[in-house]
Amino acid sequence: SAVISQKPSRDICQRGTSLTIQCQVDSQVTMMFWYRQQPGQSLTLIATANQGSEATYESGFVIDKFPISRPNLTFSTLTVSNMSPEDSSIYLCSVASAPGSTDTQYFGPGTRLTVL
């Protein structure tokens, strides 16, 4: 499986500010995804990061709040904008080599965000 890194691993931020999280993969992958895991909860898909086009957002998530970039097949960023304490969560990127049922998703180590 691919080796996935995320930066930063954790951060404490003030409300109203923004944080950009980076996801780097050691090999080219077709699909990259961003998830959120709130305290004590399971994973919720935020969006699919599409290379060369706009991200595809899930219901309840919007581009103004969570802008995403995917400049190439090994890198993506997620920005959490105008943060509030409710954004405190673990943010995870995941990758898959191909869409659909022929491949599996692997997760990065996550970014633990605390908003004060």
Residue 25 binding other proteins, by CB under 8 A = no
Tokens of 5: 């890194």
Q: How far apart are CA 109 and CA 115, in angstroms?
A: 19
Q: What is the closest distance, in whole angstroms, from the C-beta atom of residue 7 to other proteins in the complex?
A: 14
One residue of 21, 31, 78, 115 binding other proteins per CB under 8 A: 31
Strands (E), the chain: 4-7, 10-13, 19-25, 31-37, 43-49, 56-57, 68-72, 75-80, 89-96, 106-107, 111-115
Residue 8 binding other proteins, by CB under 8 A = no
Residue 14 binding other proteins, by CB under 8 A = no
Residue 91 binding other proteins, by CB under 8 A = no
- Contact residues: other proteins, CB under 8 A: 1, 31, 33, 41-45, 48, 56, 58, 90, 92, 94, 96, 98-101, 103-110
